[in-house]
Structure 1
Amino acid sequence: MDDVVIVGAGPTGLWLAGELRLGGATVTVLESRTERDPHSKALTIHPRTIEVLDSRGVAAAFLAEGVRIPSGHFGGLPDRMDFAVLDTPHPYTLALPQARTEELLEIRARDLGATVRRGCRVTGLTGDGVELATGEVVAARYVAGCDGVRSTVRAAAGIDFPGTEAGTWGWLGDVVLDAPPERSAASIAGPHGAVMAVPLGGGVTRLVGSDPSCDGPGWPGELTLDELRATVRRIAGTDFGMRDPVWLSRFGNATRQAAEYRRGRVLLAGDAAHQHFPAGGVGMNVGIQDAHNLGWKLAAVVTGRAGEDLLDTYHQERHPVGAILLEHTRAQTALMTGWTPEGQALRAVLSRLIATVPEMSRQLAERLSGLDVTYPSGRRVPDLSFPDGTTLFQRLRTGEHVRTEVGLVRPDGHLG
C-alpha cells in the first residue's frame, strides 16, 4: 500500500508527486490517458510558480526553454502591467506549452521515485484506495484528486462543487498563419470581439479570444476552421491567412469551487478544486501552488513527523486563495467581454489607470503573479541572501524548514 495515490498526471498531480517523494512519502500517480495530451491548454508560467520551481532546483530547464515576457495584461486591457516592480528574482512570465511543462515535471517526479501509471481510469473510491475501470484496486492511505473539473475523486467523495454555469464562451485555434501579425504577439479588441495571437513555435500560432456571438447559455457547438476564420476576420479585419489547424477548441466561464479541499483521507487540488474562465493564464499556476502547499504537509503526516490536523490547514490556507482567484477571473471576464459602448468605456478607463497609477498596476501584477498570497500563519518570504553566499531558495531545495532572520520558513516558502 502506498502512502498516497494521486489521480491525474497534469501539472498539479505531477508537482504534488515530486513534493511527496521529496518529503519521504510513497506515491503512485494514475492517469486515464495512455499518452500525454499534445494540446496545451496552458502556455503561461507566472513569477510565483517560477519561484516554486527555483526553490526546488528545477527552474533552469524551464528558463532555458521558455520565452520571458516582462509584463502582463488584466482582462485583455491594452495597457499592460510592468512586472519589473515585483519583489522577485523572476519579474516575468514564461511562455512554455503545457505539454512540455508536464514532461519536465514528470521527469522530476520519476527521478524522485514516484510511480506514474498511464491508461488507468479511476472509477471510484474504495475503503483503502481507488478502483480502476479494470476492477483493480490501488491501495493507499490518502487519495489526492488532481483530475480536473470533472473530478471523479471529488464526486466519489461527495464534495460539493457549487458555482455558476457558463454564459460566455471563448475559443482557440492552433493554426498556421501565412500572414501573421507584425509583432510576435498581438492583441486586438473592440466591440466585435477580442483576439490574441501567440506564436507556439514550429510555424504554429495560437489565436485565442471571444466575441459577442459566443454569449449565452448552452454549448455553442464544436469550433470549425471556417467559423474561426470568419470570427477573426470580423475582429481583426484579416484572418492572417490561417490554415492547417492543429487544434480547435472552445471553453466557457463556468465558475465553481469545491466546498471542501479535504474530506477525511481525500484531498483536492488544481482544477478539481476550482473552475474558472482562463483569464490571465493563472489556472495551472494556482494548481501547482496548491500542490506546493499540500505536498510537504501530507508527506509530514504520512511519515509521522506531524499530526493529521496539519492537513486541515491545507483547506484553511488554499480555499481563500481559490475564492480570490474566482473573483479576479470573473472580473477579468467581464472586462474581456465588454462589447457594449459602456463596456468599452470601462475598459478604456481602467486601462488608463493601469498606465498612470503605479500602485494599482503593482497590486494587480502581484495578484496575477501569485506573489501577494498570505496565509494566516505567515506571508511569502522573498529569496533572502545569507552570509555564506547561499539564498533562501537554494536552502529550500531539500524540502525542509529553513531558519532565517525573519523567522522559520516552511518548505513552501511561507513563514510559519
Structure 2
Amino acid sequence: MNVPTPPYYDVLIAGAGPVGLFLACELQLAGCSVLVIEQTSELSTPLKRAPFGLRGLSVPTVDSFDRRSLLAPLKGRIPDREIAAATPWTKEDRRPGGHFAGIDFYLDQIDQTRWPFRLSHSANPMPADLESIGAVLTDRAEELGVAIRYGMRVSDVSATDRDVTVRAGEETFRGGWLVGCDGGRSVVRKTAGFGFTGTDPEFTGYFAQVEFADPSMLDPGHHDTPGGTYIFDLPDMIRMVEFDGGAHHRGEPITRDHLQAVLRRISGANIELTAIAHVTTWTDRAYLATEYRRGRVLLAGDAAHIHSPLGGQGLNLGLGDAMNLGWKLAATIHGNAARGLLETYQRERRPLAEQILDWSRAQVSLMRPSRSAQALRTIVRDLIATPDGATYFAERVWGVSVRYDLGSDHPLVGRSVPDFELTDGTRLNEHFRGARALLLDFSGVEQLRALADRYRDWITYVPCNGKDLSGLYALFVRPDGFVGWASDQPVDEIDVARVLSQWFDTARHVGGAPAQ
C-alpha cells in the first residue's frame, strides 16, 4: 500500500489572523513557499468591524504597511466617517492622540520636535478595524500565491532537526519550519513545549453588540465607576471591565441576563438589554513565552505574548514580530543568513514584549476601583495633561520609542528609518516594495555605488539626495525598515563588508557569483 507523501512547504504558519498573513506575505515576497492553516472558516464578525483604539495602528505598523504598498488599500477600506467614529464621545475641539488606562492625551499637547527623524512623514498612527486589516492582507497573500487552508485546526506538531510535520483536520503537512501565529491559546506553543509564564487576570472584559430597550439611559463614552469601567459607542457597542478575577472569561456562554447584570453593576443604571448580537470576553492576563524558538518551531503574535487589549498594542506588537521575523527566516531558508541571524528575532522582539506587558499591567493598576488606585489615577491624569506628559505617553503608545539594541550610540541605529523625501520626488518607503535591504548613499560620490554593486545579492543601492538629511553619509537599512548601521563620515569597502557580514553570509556570494 502506497502512503501519499504530504505536501511540503518552506514554511507552515498556523493562524490566518493579521500576524500570520503579514508573515506569510513577507516570506512569499522573499521567494519562500508558504502554507497558512486557519481553524475558522468565517473570519468576519461585527466585532472585527469595530475600530479598535483611538489610534489603532502604531507608527511602526503604519510604516510597515506603507513600505509594502498595503497602506493605501487599507485606507481605502476605512471610510472617513469610521475613522472619525473611533472616538464618537469626543465633543471637544481638541483631538485625543491616544490614552493610558482610559486617560486621554491630546494632540495639541504633544511636542513632536523632540523626535528628530523618528516620526515618518507618511506614518501617522491611525484607527483601523481588524476586518479591514485582514481583508487587505488576505488579498495580498492571494496575489503573491500564498496557500491558505481554512476550517483546519492544528492538532499535533512533530519536529526534527530537518523539518516539521503538522496534523490539521484529517490531513498532514510537512514544512521546513513552523510558525505559530494561532493566538493566546496556541496549540503550536503547547504541543511544541514552549514555556509560558506571567501574571493571572484581575478582571473580565466584555465587548458586545447589543440591543437596548432604552439606550438613552447610558451616556456615550468612557466611564469609570466604583463597579468597574464601561465604554458605550453609539448605537449598540458596549465595552466593560469588571474586577472579578477573570471569572467569566471562556467559561459558560455569556447570556443576556448575565451581560445585563454586569452592565447594571458597573453603570449603576437599571438598563435593560433586549438582545445580544455578538459578545466576546477577554482579561488582563499577561503571559510571555520563555523563548520564541524551539528548533524549527517559532512563535509570533499572541501565541508568544498575551495581555490586556487596552490601547490596541497587542496587534501592533504581533505585526512587528512578523516584520522582524519574515526576512530573517527567509534568509535562513535561502542560506544567505549570517550565523545566528535567526536568534536575533527573540533578542530584539522579546524585550519589547516585556515592556508592553508591563505597560499593560500599569494601566490595569490604575483602573482598579480601590481608593488608592483612583488617587494614583488622579496624579497620572495631571501628568498626562502637561506637554511633557502627553509627549512621553504618545511616544510609548504610538510606538515612536521602539528601538532595538544593536550596539550603536547613533540615534538612528535600531530605529525604523525615516521616510526621507528625496529630490527625485520619491520617498524612501517606496524603495522597500521588494523587501530588500537598502544601502542609502547621502554622499553623492561613486564609491558607495560601486561597493553596493559588489554586494548586490543582498542590498539595493539608493542614492539619497534628500531634503532633510542632517549630515548623514550612509545608512544600511534592513529589509524590515530598521537601521542596522549609520555613518556621518566617509566609509570604505571594509566598513561596508563588516556591516553586511553582521546580517548576511557574504562569504557565499560576492557580486552574484560564488566566492572562491
Cα distance change of structure 1 residues 255 and 242 upon mapping to structure 2, 3 Å threshold: same
Structure having the higher Rg = 2
Cα distance change of structure 1 residues 415 and 284 upon mapping to structure 2, 3 Å threshold: same
Partner of 2:230: 195
Cα distance change of structure 1 residues 90 and 304 upon mapping to structure 2, 3 Å threshold: same
Partner of 1:82: 107
Which amino acid is 1:19 matched to? E
Which amino acid is 1:93 matched to? M
Partner of 2:146: 114
1:249-305 CA-partner distances (Å, limit 9, x unpaired): 221222110111112211110000001111211111111111011111111221232
Cα distance change of structure 1 residues 411 and 177 upon mapping to structure 2, 3 Å threshold: farther
CA contact (8 A) 1:75 1:332 kept: yes
Partner of 2:255: 224
Are 1:35 and 2:47 matched, yes or no?
Answer: no
1:5 to 12, 15, 32: 12
CA contact (8 A) 1:190 1:344 kept: no
Are 1:156 and 2:191 matched, yes or no?
Answer: yes
Whole-Å separation in 2 of the counterparts to 1:108 and 1:161: 32
2:99 to 55, 68, 73: 73
Partner of 1:395: 431
Query: How is 1:148-187 mapped onto 2 (pairs within 5 angstroms)?
Result: 148-176=183-211, 186-187=221-222
Structure 1, unpaired ranges of 5+: none
CA drift of 1:315 comes to 0.4
SS of aligned partner of 2:316 = helix
Cα distance change of structure 1 residues 379 and 182 upon mapping to structure 2, 3 Å threshold: farther
Partner of 1:372: 401
Are 1:362 and 2:353 matched, yes or no?
Answer: no
Partner of 2:71: 59
Query: How is 1:136-285 mapped onto 2 (pairs within 5 angstroms)?
Result: 136-176=171-211, 186-198=221-233, 205-212=236-243, 214-215=244-245, 221-236=252-267, 238=269, 242-285=273-316
CA contact (8 A) 1:129 1:141 kept: yes
Which amino acid is 2:332 matched to? V
Count of residues paired in the alignment: 407
CA contact (8 A) 1:146 1:269 kept: yes
TM-score, with normalisation over the residues of structure 2? 0.73
Partner of 1:340: 370
Whole-Å separation in 2 of the counterparts to 1:17 and 1:3: 11
Whole-Å separation in 2 of the counterparts to 1:280 and 1:161: 23
CA contact (8 A) 2:164 2:296 kept: no
1:70-126 CA-partner distances (Å, limit 9, x unpaired): 52110112x324386552334343132x13321221111111111001122212222
Which amino acid is 2:398 matched to? S
Partner of 1:382: 418
1:290-339 CA-partner distances (Å, limit 9, x unpaired): 10111111112212322462111100000001101110011111112x21
Whole-Å separation in 1 of the counterparts to 2:142 and 2:348: 28
CA contact (8 A) 1:225 1:248 kept: no
CA drift of 1:22 comes to 1.2
SS of aligned partner of 1:381 = coil
CA drift of 1:233 comes to 4.0
1:31-80 CA-partner distances (Å, limit 9, x unpaired): 11122252546843323222211111111122233315652110112x32
Cα distance change of structure 1 residues 123 and 230 upon mapping to structure 2, 3 Å threshold: closer
Whole-Å separation in 1 of the counterparts to 2:192 and 2:290: 12
Larger mean Cα displacement after TM superposition, 160-169 or 289-298 = 160-169
SS of aligned partner of 1:228 = helix
Whole-Å separation in 2 of the counterparts to 1:269 and 1:164: 20
CA contact (8 A) 1:230 1:239 kept: no
Are 1:314 and 2:377 matched, yes or no?
Answer: no
Cα distance change of structure 1 residues 279 and 321 upon mapping to structure 2, 3 Å threshold: same
Larger mean Cα displacement after TM superposition, 60-69 or 339-348 = 60-69
CA drift of 1:178 comes to 6.7
SS of aligned partner of 1:334 = helix
Question: What is the identity percentage for the equivalent residue pairs of Structure 1 and Structure 2?
Answer: 37
TM-score, with normalisation over the residues of structure 1? 0.90
Which amino acid is 2:385 matched to? A
Structure 2, unpaired ranges of 5+: 1-7, 87-95, 113-118, 407-413, 443-471, 485-516
CA contact (8 A) 1:148 1:270 kept: yes
CA drift of 1:240 comes to 7.1
